[in-house]
Amino acid sequence: MRKIIFWVHTSIDGHIDGPQGEFDWPVMGDELSAYSETLTERVDTFLYGRGVWEGMAAFWPTAESVSDHPHVLRFTPIWRSTPKIVFSTTLKDADWGTTVLGKNLAEDVAELKRQPGKDLLLTGGSALAAALTELGLIDEYHIAVHPVVLGGGRPLFAARADRLGLRLVESRTCDSQVVVMRYDRA
């Protein structure tokens, strides 16, 4: 069965974006870029909620025209060629090899996990990750903690009615500044 891998950047104070929605603070050094690229090698499909999809679709199709960062240059063709699924009840269609699903999250994701293929990568966001966590459908959590205090923004994890136990599998420091932790469901 395929796994869902959740890859997310957060601030030290647990926010995935700033108080005004800004996402200009993650620093993709060589080691963190390599870690991210290793995750993409394990998967054959990217998963997004609508908000993250809109940000990705606004940047990655023409990313190399606005940035010459080595990670951007390596990831842009991967992003373009990898199938993408957006979970949304309001978005009707999307470009760049993207399928929109929104009828029944639990059934749609369970079916994706049953299909043959490599794992599935859920990137960023909080609402879709929270819903999939609640359903017990995320298998691995890869959390990059950046050395910044944002003082507000969307929290990494939404409030829950009950506690969620995770098991730390790996932790490492990338580029002498970002701590990446990998957790599996306990």
Domain total for the chain?
1
Per residue, the 3-state secondary structure of 71-137, as one string, reads HHHHHHHHHHHCCEEEECCCCCCCCCCEEEECCCHHHHHHHHHHCCCCEEEEECCCHHHHHHHHCCC
* Angle subtended by helix axes 127-134 and 105-114, to nearest 10: 80
Note the pLDDT tens digit of each residue in 11-68: 999 999 999 999 999 999 999 999 999 999 999 999 999 999 998 898 888 899 989 9
Is 159 contained in some domain?
Answer: yes
Is 118 contained in some domain?
Answer: yes
Please give the residue that has the higher pLDDT: either 186 or 135: 135
Is 76 contained in some domain?
Answer: yes
Which range of residues forms the domain containing residue 125?
A: 4-173
CATH number of the domain that 28 lies in? 3.40.430.10
Is 52 contained in some domain?
Answer: yes
Neighbours of 153 (CB within 10 A): 21
Is 106 contained in some domain?
Answer: yes
Whether residue 181 has pLDDT greater than 90: yes
pLDDT grade for 81, boundaries at 50, 70 and 90: very high
Is 186 contained in some domain?
Answer: no
